Amino acid sequence: MKQAVIVLLLAVLFSCKSKTENKDITQTQEKPNILLIVVDDQGYNDFSPFKNHDKTISTPNITRLGKAGTVYTQAYVTAPVCSPSRAGIITGKNQFRWDKPASWGPGLPDNVKTIAEYLKEAGYQTARIGKNDLGQNFHKNDVREYPLNHGYDEFLGFSAHAHDYWLNSQSIKDRTPDPFGTSALLGPLMHNMGEKSYEEGYLTDIFTDESIAFLKRKRDKPFFLTLSYNAVHHLIHEVPKKYLDKYNVKEIPNYEPDSLVAYGKHDAGSYSAYYDKYSRIGAINTDDLRKYYLANLNCLDDNIGRVLDALKEQKLDKNTLIVFISDNGGSPLTGSNNAPLTGGKYSLWEGGIRVPMAVSWPGIVEAGKVETKYVSAADILPTLAKAGGATVTDTNIDGINLFEDANEDRLLVWKWQKTWAVRKGKWKVTNAKENHWKSEPSAQYIAPIRDDLTIKLFDVENDPGERNDVSAEHPEIVKELEAAYNTWCETNIKK
């Protein structure tokens, strides 16, 4: 009788089942391999598993990934820009718990554990390939923010906001007056406690090649691989020629230290000058910007397909749990499309924090399902920890296990610089104000109905585009949610 009760409880706990295989996690003979794919700045409407996606995109492999599992139409990240959002993803916590300014540089405190640390303790071989960005201590390998110091056995990538797609060699770094002179950098990639120079190659391809090499290794442990692409982040025009030809846009010459004139505040020959010139509308018009974005996204998709094919070739696909997520909404400065959502990266409008997300795990997660309940990127840590047999010891985790039945009225909170937001059920209260700060946005961008710090209320289930502020009609809901937000902050944010 006791055993029957235990089995029943476990069956309820893990209720995501395949339509074709009536199987739950308790029947899995071994721990799953885990692949966490994080992409950069993908537009909400540029996610082909969604029914009403933008039809100009070409992403058959992302479609394949989505069909293999469950797609989430209301997935939120914890911040509208990369550094704090990625901190939220790997810790399962709202990073402004410890980051009082709630801005670009949360860092990673010693007492906040990561999913890599939990899974390593549970017997996983852990690796991170690609972008590492927690907003502090860039380019250093002796700091908590460096992957080898928060749970990863191996790291190959860069530790900064962005990296040039083409220029990954020691020789170009030696010739550049400011290789670390902006939010992006160029030159060799960090590799464990050293560096690895690539005289040739495209960065998205390199990350894929290195990931496939990792998948092909013989091992006696399950793996946890974080594949953290910097596509489709700026510099958006840097794409292999076959993709540029497909979308009928010209090649723009790569950065060359001796070929530039002064641009703005930067000196001639600086990488900062080149990066700033091509990370806004101006040198690239808005029509071509969208085409460069589509080319970059198409290339990213082909690479994701290569990873999925490698899993199958290595007979790893049947027991690999895959999570796919974008680190924030599409950028207003790259040509991404967040429709029908207002705004984009840099703001707490839905377009900045609602993102593409999918989870697959053959036989466990239902294939072809579209989940409309709202979830958080903070849910990734407790979900993967449970699947991998790890025990989460932190009692202040903000995420929940995605394989459990979520509370449909759970409270989600956001804090971003001077703005904040709170969601409960269908209601969202926010003082969101747009902040794309570099230039005018691209043509795909949907401007907010009111661009100020006043409090607004939206029914985001029925009005995801936040076009109808109903705060005047429902002052009691505004009061209730604002009080809930303030209570959460007073209870949880480090004084």
**Per residue of the chain (495 residues), what is the pLDDT tens digit?**
444 433 333 343 344 443 333 344 434 458 999 999 999 999 999 999 999 999 999 999 999 999 999 999 999 999 999 999 999 999 999 999 999 999 999 999 999 999 999 999 999 999 999 999 999 999 999 999 999 999 999 999 999 999 999 999 999 999 999 999 778 899 999 999 999 999 999 999 999 999 999 999 999 999 999 999 999 999 999 999 999 999 999 999 999 987 755 444 456 578 998 998 999 889 999 999 999 999 999 999 999 999 999 999 999 999 999 999 999 999 999 999 999 999 999 999 999 999 999 999 999 999 999 999 999 999 999 999 999 999 999 999 999 999 986 677 999 999 999 999 999 999 999 999 987 666 789 999 999 999 899 999 999 999 999 999 999 999 999 999 999 999 999 999 987
pLDDT the model gives residue 435:
74
pLDDT the model gives residue 494:
82
Residue of 358, 364, 460, 441 whose CA lies nearest to 48:
358
Contacts of 15 (CB under 8 A, 6+ apart): 403, 404, 405
pLDDT the model gives residue 406:
66
pLDDT the model gives residue 268:
59
Q: What is the DSSP letter of 462?
A: T
pLDDT the model gives residue 379:
98
Q: Which contiguous run of DSSP H or E holds residue 105?
A: none
pLDDT the model gives residue 371:
96
Q: Which CA distances in Å does 449 have to 41, 333, 348, 413, 458?
A: 23, 20, 14, 22, 12
Q: How far apart are CA 212 and CA 151, in angstroms?
A: 21
pLDDT the model gives residue 405:
65
Q: How far apart are CA 432 and CA 1, in angstroms?
A: 54
Contacts of 285 (CB under 8 A, 6+ apart): none
Supply 79's token pair: 């911040």
pLDDT the model gives residue 102:
97
Q: How far apart are CA 193 and CA 142, in angstroms?
A: 9
Put simply, whether the predicted model's pTM sits higher than 0.75 gets the answer: yes
Supply 441's token pair: 């946005």
| Residue 222: cis peptide before it, omega within 30 degrees of 0 | no
Count other Cβ atoms within 10 Å, centred on residue 323. 25
- Segments in 107-195 forming alpha helices (H): 115-121, 170-175
State whether residue 212 is helix, strand or coil.
helix
pLDDT the model gives residue 184:
86
Q: Show the CA angle centred on residue 346, arms to residues 230 and 158, nearest 5°.
A: 25
Residue of 48, 94, 105 whose CA lies nearest to 423:
94
Q: Kind of pairing, strands 419-424 and 427-430?
A: antiparallel
State whether residue 301 is helix, strand or coil.
helix
456, HSE (Cβ side, Cα atoms, 13 Å):
24
State whether residue 99 is helix, strand or coil.
coil
Phi, psi for residue 467 in degrees, rounded to 5: -100, -10
| Residue 232: cis peptide before it, omega within 30 degrees of 0 | yes
Token pair 């970059």: residue: 296
State whether residue 377 is helix, strand or coil.
helix
Count other Cβ atoms within 10 Å, centred on residue 286. 14
State whether residue 270 is helix, strand or coil.
coil
pLDDT the model gives residue 167:
98
Q: How far apart are CA 483 and CA 167, in angstroms?
A: 50
